[in-house]
Amino acid sequence: MIILKNKVLLYNAKIYTQFDNQVVNSMALDKRCIVAIGDNLHQGPRFRNFSKIDLKKKTIVPGFVDAHTHFHYFAQSFCKVSLDGLDSLEKCLSKIKTFATTLKKNEWVVGEGYSVDLFKKRIEPNKFMLDKVSGGRPVIMFTKDQHSSWVNSKALSLAGINSKTKDPEGGRIEKLNDGAPSGILREPAAYSSVSDLLPEPAPSQMNRLYQKALDWAYQKGITGVHSFDGNPGAFEWYQQMSEKKKLGLRINYYFQASALPTLLKNKVRFGQGDEFLRIAGIKIFSDGALGSKTALCHEKYKGSKNNYGIEVRSIKQMLASLKQAARLGLPAAIHAIGDKAVSNVLDVFEKAPKLKNGARHRIEHYQLVRRKDVERTKRLNLIASMQPSHCPSDIKMIRKYWGKRGANAFIFRTLIDKGIDLAFGSDVPIEPLDPIAGIAAAVRRALPKSRDVFYPNQRISALEALYGFTLGPAIAVGQQDCRGMLAAGYPADFVLLSDDIARVAASKIYDIKVLATILDGDIKYCDSSLKL
C-alpha cells in the first residue's frame, strides 16, 4: 500500500466536487482528510509547506460508491464456474464438465451467469444434462439474474425435492411431464433447500477471494459499496475484517428481513457502526426478475399463457417486516422489478410507520413502473436504487416479454426531472462491478459499440450519471454530510480518471480508465503510467 504524504496539494486538475456543481482545479489533503478545495491553491501562502503534485489536466471525481452489490457473494464468485455470455447449452455443459474435473469426488459444482435467452437455439436445460457432465457430484448453476437455479439429480436428492414436493410460497419447482422435478427451481424460496447445503469457503480461502474482489473494486475506482448479502454469516465476517482494519471499503450493510428477530433482540439500529462498516437497513424481496420471467407485472408476459410473474412477498408480509424494522429506526430497501411489484411496494410504504431519524426507504431496481406510480414515489420521498448496466443487457428481453411496456423501463430522465433521488449500482455479480460502464449505460442506453439505443428520450448526462455513483448513494443512506462529495472536512476518497468524463463523447465513456483510487488517503490502486 502506498500512503500519500500528510500534507499534499493536487493542482492543475479538473475536479468535479459534486458540491453545488462546483468544478475546481486544486485540492489540499492533510493525512486522511480534505482540508481545502478551490482554484490555484498552490499559489497561495497557506499551502507553502504542502508537497505539490501537478496532475497535468487529469480529472478527479469523488470515489465511486456502488449502491447495490452482493459484495461478500461477489468475492465467492471467484471460485465458481462462470457461464456468463455463453450462447449455447452445449458450451455451458462443456465448461461445467471441465470445471467439475478440477474438483474432489463429492465436491459441489457451483456456477452462475447462464441465460437461456442468450442461447442461439432456445433449449430449456434439465437435470439429466447436468448428470452427464458432473461425474456424480452435486451441481447447482444460477441464472444470470440469480432468480432461478439449474440443479442435477444428486442435488435434488440431497435437498429432498421430488415429485411430491409442492411449490413453496414465493417460488416454483418446474416439473417434467411425469410430474418429477425438471431441475429448474424458480426464486430462492424454491432453490434455498439446495443452496443452503453449499459449504462456506474456509477462512483462508475466503480471505484470498475477498482480496481478489477488493483488487477488482480498486481498479474500477470504487471506495464504497452498499451490500445486500443473503448469507447470514456475511455481516459477522465483515465485522471481523473491520476489527482487523482489513475491510478495505466503506460498506453500508443491509440485512435480510429474516434477520429481524436477531436485530430486535440485539437492538441493532440505523447508523450503528464506524467509518467503514455501518448498519443501513433491511432488504426485502417483493418479486423475481425479468430473465427468469418471475418479475411481477400487471399484464402477463408476451408469449405466455398466464404468467404474470411471482409475488415473492405479499403486501401484508412486507408491511409486517417494516413495522418490526421501524422499532429500530431501520429503513427498508425492497426489491421490485415488475410494475405490479412496484405498485405493491408503494402500497406498503404508504402504510408503513414514518421514520424519524433521517433514514429513507428505497426501491431496489425500480425497473418497470407505471407513470402514475412515479408520482407516488416522489410523494413518499423514496430513493430509486437502480442499476444502469441492466438497461442495455435487458433490451432484447424487455422487447420479447414486455413489448411496448418497455417504454416504462429504466426511465432515468423522467425520474430526475421529477426530482426523485437516484442511487446507482451494478447488482454485482449479476452485472460487472464497474461504475464507468454504468455511467456509459445510463448516458447511451446501448451496449458498447451498438447503435441500438433503448428509448433515447430517457438518456441522461454523464454528470447526472456520475452523481448517481457518488452523492446519490450517500443521500440514500443519510451520509450526504460526510460522503459523496469532495469538500473540506470530507475524507480523502477520490478517483483519478484518464479523461474528462463530462466532455468525452458518449460512445467513448466505456474507454475511460481509472488511473488511481484513493481511499481514506491511501493509494489503493495506481496505474503504471501514473506517478504519485
Contact predicate 34/489, CB 8 Å? yes
Q: Read off the pLDDT band of 207 (50, 70, 90).
A: very high
Confidence at residue 532, expressed as pLDDT on a 0 to 100 scale: 64
Mean pLDDT of 303-327: 97
Instruction: State the pLDDT confidence band at 356, using cuts at 50, 70 and 90.
Output: confident
pLDDT at residue 530 greater than cutoff 90 = no
> Mean per-residue pLDDT for 211-216?
98
Q: What is the pLDDT confidence band of residue 2, given thresholds at 50, 70 and 90?
A: very low
Grid cell in block for residue 242: 473491520
Question: Residue 26 contacts by C-beta under 8 Å, 6 or more apart in sequence?
Answer: 9, 10, 11, 12, 13, 15, 37, 38, 39, 40, 41, 42
Q: Over the range 6-43, which residues count as b (16 or more CB within 10 Å of their CB) and which as e?
A: eebbbbebbbbbbbeeeebbbbbbbebebbbbeeebbe
What CA–CA distance (Å, rounded) separates 481 from 487? 10
Mean per-residue pLDDT, 40-57? 94
Query: Could you tell me what percent of the chain has a pLDDT over 70?
Result: 99
In the β-sheet with 522-526, what is the strand arrangement from edge to edge? Answer: 2-3, 522-526, 514-519, 494-497, 59-62, 14-16, 23-24
Question: How many helices (H) and strands (E) would you count in the chain?
Answer: 16, 25
Banded pLDDT at 231 (limits 50, 70, 90): confident
pLDDT at 1: 38
Report which of 391, 368, 327, 317 is spatially closest to residue 347, judged by C-alpha positions.
317
Q: What is the pLDDT of residues 406-447, one digit of tens each?
A: 999 999 999 999 999 999 999 999 999 999 999 999 999 999
Is a pLDDT exceeding 70 seen at residue 3?
A: no
Instruction: Answer whether 0.75 is exceeded by the pTM.
Output: yes
Residue 520: which residues within 8 A CB-CB, separation 6 or more? 32, 275, 491, 492, 493
CA 302 to chain centre: 28
CA angle in degrees (0–180, nearest 5) for 306-310-316: 125
Query: Could you tell me whether strands 494-497 and 26-30 are parallel, antiparallel, or unpaired per DSSP bridges?
Result: unpaired
d(CA 104, CA 348): 47
**Phi, psi for residue 246 in degrees, rounded to 5:** -125, 15
How does 444-456 read in b/e, with b if 16+ C-beta sit within 10 Å? bbbbeeeeeebbe
Q: What pLDDT is stored for residue 395 in this prediction?
A: 97
DSSP symbols for 179-195: SSEEEEEESHHHHHHHH
User: What distance in Å separates the CA atoms of residue 359 and residue 418, rounded to the nearest whole number?
Assistant: 21
Q: What is the pLDDT of the chain when averaged over all its residues?
A: 95
CA distance 335 to 368: 12
For residue 89, what is the DSSP state?
A: H
What structural domains and CATH numbers belong to the chain? 2-63+493-504+506-526 (2.30.40.10), 66-71+201-476 (3.20.20.140), 85-143+148-186 (3.10.310.70)
| Residue 281: strand pairing partners | 254
Q: Which three cell numbers stand for residue 514?
A: 481509472
Amino acid residing at 344: N
Q: What is the pLDDT of residue 531?
A: 72
As a whole number, mean pLDDT of residues 270-296 equals: 97
**HSE, side-chain direction, 13 A CA sphere, residue 436:** 27
How many CA atoms are closer than 13 Å to the CA of 271, on its beta-carbon side?
11
pLDDT at 429: 95
Residue 312 has pLDDT above 60, yes or no: yes
